[in-house]
């Protein structure tokens, strides 16, 4: 609470967040005591000491207000609420309208008796909107009398005295109604994340895959389809919600659904499927091992834990989330007795510089996420992780050594991410990150391995040196490449392509070598004048043997910024069949978007850019201009 208030009143730097609770309280009180303010606190479960936070007590004299929501009347008393407003459940008619909308007329009219049975189910929901929505969605495909009568019988057993005991069993009906155990496990897995956390869909499916929950397929490409189908099903019954963060598709758990998941997992406490979750719980040290030595899945992500000093014996643990802490030391023996650990997430521990020696004991590990850590070197002992399917080394600015042949020794590796890792001029012959002028040669060599050529989905080419030459033909067979980012190439002199003349780097026509591209990002490349050159397009098409290549058929996102000489995307308007997002900034010479009234047809297109640039855009005709005017959103709102 202090950190959120601090950000609002101007204490946003990292050093302030490291202050003690008492010091923060003094700072907050000093600012708020001289102001009229409104503080809103959502979903309180216990009394908040305003003095401890630093909030001056609101009164008529100072004109300030404190507003909070809670599901507990006791909390209202403990907070000395001056006015209580009870949010009533829906009246019978309104509740029926909501339930009917979620079930749908097709199902309600599929049998003459279902209408009355549906009204009885709606009444059993007690006017609780979330219950009406989730149960209504769960019944949307039930078209037999038997299914509706069974639902009524199950809901009759939910009549318990307290609100949480009434609501959770009602919501659990939707959980129980999920078609299989896999889908139930996948939903409960989301409980490992903190409240209101945006969970990237792709990462969630990757974790499910490595944990063995998606057992229909052996390859991540096929498992991704199964995972996407599970997520869609959970969204359809309102057990998950859609979200987006930094342009990436995410899901969230409504806080009540998450509470229900916690309530369900307590049933497993005495079994080997138990959970231990203290995500975002403001922990400053690792929990007592006795509390989690028998659990199957554990999450202490988003806390303030600095040291893991124990040597826990956890024979059942399969997933361990440690991300988003301030870890700087992990005891060498910490992983020694966790023989079945399958998923280990150490990401976003920027102070962590060294992996413990005992990590090589995790012989069952299939997923290792080290992204956004300060780790400087991967130990050769990681070769012992022979079952590894996923390794994420993204955004590791201090990583200077990956031993030769380490990555290629992971014969089962299917997901490898090494995004924004910089080569360092240490000339260590045993490191594949050896610096100097061999960086781009390293990229070409990397893409020559069949494993990486066949499975690379994202590639970032960044900060070329003046004398560097890049052979783009190494992109030709990247059939799964979906994201290409070209960044900071202000000094790059040349790119080349076998069988062609040398190209000056004024265009990126060679991106058509990646036909499945979904995202294209080009930024801070001062010499680029056009994205696709008609002249070069003919040359590339001749080399790859496609006389009339179709352009950007699958492109969904186009981000162009910091390109002061960019004048053209292409000569003609492009269809952009799948395009949903365009972001343009710092491209002052770009006057045309090369769209016509048929471009991105049927898509909900979002165009973001500078307002003044948008006013200068030239359109093919007035119909095109009117078609895309509603799509624009100013990038900077003054």
Give the pLDDT band (50/70/90) at residue 166.
low
Model pLDDT, residue 259: 83
Q: Would you say residue 467 has pLDDT above 50?
A: no
Confidence of residue 437 (pLDDT cuts 50, 70, 90): very low
Confidence class for position 549, pLDDT limits 50, 70, 90: low
Contacts of 150 (CB under 8 A, 6+ apart): none
What is the predicted pLDDT for the residue at 308? Answer: 96
Relative to beta strand 494-496, strand 503-504 is antiparallel
Q: How far apart are CA 278 and CA 294, in angstroms?
A: 16
Q: Above 90 in pLDDT, residue 359?
A: yes
pLDDT of 471 reads 62
* pTM for this predicted structure: 0.69
Given a cut of 60, whether residue 79 has pLDDT beyond it is: yes
Asked whether residue 251 carries a pLDDT value surpassing 70, the answer given is yes
**Would you say 363 and 338 are in contact if contact means Cβ atoms under 8 Å apart?**
no
Q: According to the model, what pLDDT value does residue 505 have?
A: 52
The burial of 637, by beta-carbon neighbours within 10 Å (0-12 exposed, 13-18 middle, 19 or more buried), is given as exposed
How many other β-carbons are positioned within 10 Å of the β-carbon of residue 259? Answer: 20
Separation of alpha carbons 380 and 368, rounded Å: 15
266-323: per-residue pLDDT in tens? 876 666 678 999 999 889 999 998 889 999 999 999 999 999 998 999 999 999 999 9
pLDDT in tens, 583-612: 999 999 999 888 888 887 777 888 999 888
> Are 507 and 530 a contacting pair, CB within 8 Å?
yes
Q: Residue 160: pLDDT band by 50, 70, 90 thresholds?
A: very low
**Per-residue confidence at 447, pLDDT binned at 50, 70, 90?**
low
H or E segment at 317?
none
* Extents of the domains making up the chain: 2-78, 92-176, 181-259, 269-434, 455-638
Would you state the pLDDT for residue 453?
63
Average pLDDT, the chain: 84
Question: pLDDT per residue over 402-430, tens digit each?
Answer: 888 888 889 899 888 887 665 544 555 56
Using the predicted structure, report yes or no on whether residue 529 has a pLDDT greater than 50: yes
Residue-level pLDDT at 439: 40
Of 76 and 536, more confident = 76
Give the domain 92-176 fold.
Answer: Helicase, Ruva Protein; domain 3 (1.10.8)
Mean pLDDT across the stretch 465-493?
63
| pLDDT reported for residue 185 | 94
Q: Please, are residues 43 and 68 in contact by the beta-carbon 8 Å criterion? A: no
Q: What is the mean pLDDT of residues 379-396?
A: 94
DSSP 429-445: TTBTTB-GGGHHHHHHH
Residues of the chain above pLDDT 70, percent: 83
DSSP H helices, 525-603, are 534-544
CB 366 within 8 A of CB 388: yes
Please tell me the predicted confidence (pLDDT) of residue 272.
63
β 241-245/248-252 pair status: antiparallel
C-alpha closest to that of 68 among 102, 50, 41: 41
Of residues 542 and 586, the one with the higher pLDDT is 586
Give the pLDDT score at 490.
56
Please check whether residue 349 is in contact with residue 371, taking contact to mean a CB–CB distance below 8 angstroms.
no
Please write the tens of the pLDDT for every residue from 215-228.
Answer: 888 888 889 999 99
| In the predicted structure, residue 500 carries a pLDDT above the cut 80 | no
Higher pLDDT, 538 or 410: 410
pLDDT at residue 474, rounded to an integer = 66
Lowest-pLDDT range of 83-97, 443-457, 474-488: 443-457
* Res. 545 pLDDT band, cuts 50 70 90: low
pLDDT of residue 303: 95
Phi/psi zone of residue 405: left (φ > 0), alpha (ψ -120 to 50 degrees), beta?
left
Task: Provide the angle, in degrees to the nearest 10, between the axes of the packed helices 181-189 and 220-236.
Answer: 80
What average pLDDT does the segment 617-626 reach? Answer: 88
- Count of CB atoms within 10 A of residue 442's CB? 14
Chain segment 92-134, per-residue pLDDT in tens: 999 999 999 999 999 999 999 999 999 999 988 878 888 888 8
Q: Which two tokens stand for residue 177?
A: 């109604």
Q: Which CATH number fits domain 269-434: 3.30.1180.20, 3.30.390.50, 2.40.40.20, 3.80.10.10?
A: 3.80.10.10
Q: Of residues 527 and 58, which shows the higher confidence score?
A: 58
Position 538 scores a pLDDT of 72
pLDDT at residue 440 in the model: 39
CATH 1.10.10 fits 181-259, yes or no: yes
Contact assessment for residue 19 and residue 11, using Cβ atoms and an 8 Å cutoff: no
Mean pLDDT of 387-406: 90
Res. 138 pLDDT band, cuts 50 70 90: confident
Beta strands in 346-451 (DSSP E): 367-369, 390-392, 415-417
Could you read off the pLDDT of 13-57 as tens digits, one per residue?
778 888 899 999 999 999 999 899 999 998 887 899 999 999 999
Residues above pLDDT 90, as percent of the chain = 42
Residue 165: pLDDT band (50, 70, 90) is low
Cβ(443)–Cβ(475) below 8 Å: no
């Amino acid at each position: 609470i202090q950190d959120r208030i601090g950000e609002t009143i101007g204490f946003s730097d990292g050093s302030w967040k490291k202050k003690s609770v008492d010091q923060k309280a003094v700072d907050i009180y000093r600012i708020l005591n001289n102001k009229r303010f409104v503080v809103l606190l959502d979903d309180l479960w216990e009394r908040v000491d305003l003095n401890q936070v630093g909030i001056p007590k609101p009164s008529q004299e100072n004109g300030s207000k404190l507003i909070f929501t809670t599901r507990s009347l006791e909390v209202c008393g403990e907070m000395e609420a001056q006015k209580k407003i009870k949010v009533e459940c829906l009246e019978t008619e309104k509740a029926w309208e909501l339930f009917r909308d979620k079930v749908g007329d097709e199902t309600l009219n599929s049998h003459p008796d279902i209408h009355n049975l549906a009204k009885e189910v709606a009444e059993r929901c007690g006017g609780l909107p979330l219950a009406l929505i989730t149960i209504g969605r769960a019944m949307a495909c039930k078209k037999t009398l038997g299914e509706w009568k069974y639902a009524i019988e199950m809901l009759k057993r939910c009549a318990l005295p307290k609100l949480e005991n009434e609501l959770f069993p009602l919501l659990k009906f939707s959980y129980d109604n999920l078609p299989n155990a896999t889908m139930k496990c996948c939903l409960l897995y989301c409980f490992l994340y903190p409240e209101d956390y945006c969970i990237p869909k792709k990462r969630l499916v990757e974790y499910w895959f490595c944990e063995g929950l998606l057992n229909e397929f052996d390859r991540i490409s096929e498992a991704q389809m199964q995972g996407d189908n599970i997520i869609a099903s959970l969204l359809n019954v309102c057990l998950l919600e859609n979200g987006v963060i930094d342009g990436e598709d995410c899901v969230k758990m409504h806080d009540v659904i998450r509470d229900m998941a916690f309530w369900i997992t307590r049933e497993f406490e005495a079994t080997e499927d138990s959970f231990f979750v203290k995500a975002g719980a403001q922990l400053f040290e690792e929990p007592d091992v006795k509390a989690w030595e028998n659990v199957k899945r554990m999450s202490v992500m988003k806390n303030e834990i600095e040291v893991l000093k124990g040597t826990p014996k956890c024979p059942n643990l399969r997933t361990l989330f440690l991300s988003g802490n301030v870890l700087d030391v992990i005891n060498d023996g910490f992983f020694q007795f966790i023989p079945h650990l399958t998923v280990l997430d150490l990401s976003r521990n920027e102070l962590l510089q060294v992996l413990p020696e005992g990590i090589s004991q995790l012989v069952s590990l299939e997923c290792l996420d080290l992204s956004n850590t300060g780790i400087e070197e991967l130990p050769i002992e990681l070769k012992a992780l022979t079952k590894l399917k996923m390794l994420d080394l993204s955004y590791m600015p201090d990583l200077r050594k990956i031993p030769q042949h380490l990555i290629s020794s992971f014969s089962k590796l299917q997901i490898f991410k090494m995004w924004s890792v910089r080569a360092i001029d240490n000339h260590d012959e045993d490191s594949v990150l050896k610096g100097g002028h061999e960086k781009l040669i390293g990229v070409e060599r990397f893409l020559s391995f069949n494993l990486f050529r066949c499975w690379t989905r994202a590639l970032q080419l960044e900060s070329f040196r003046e004398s560097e030459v890049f052979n783009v033909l190494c992109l030709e067979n990247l059939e799964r490449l979906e994201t290409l980012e070209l960044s900071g190439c202000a000094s790059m002199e040349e790119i080349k392509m076998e069988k062609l003349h040398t190209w000056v780097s004024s265009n990126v026509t060679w991106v058509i070598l990646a036909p499945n591209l979904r995202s294209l990002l080009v930024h801070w490349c001062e010499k680029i004048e056009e994205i696709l050159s008609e002249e070069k397009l003919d040359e590339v098409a001749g080399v790859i043997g496609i006389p009339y290549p179709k352009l950007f058929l699958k492109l969904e996102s186009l981000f162009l910024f910091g390109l002061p000489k960019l004048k053209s995307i292409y000569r003609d308007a492009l269809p952009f069949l799948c395009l949903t997002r365009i972001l343009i900034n710092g491209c002052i010479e770009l006057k045309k978007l090369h769209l016509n009234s048929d471009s991105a047809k049927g898509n909900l297109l979002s165009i973001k850019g500078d307002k003044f640039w948008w006013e200068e855009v030239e359109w093919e005709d007035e119909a095109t201009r009117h078609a895309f005017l509603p799509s624009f959103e100013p990038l900077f709102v003054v």
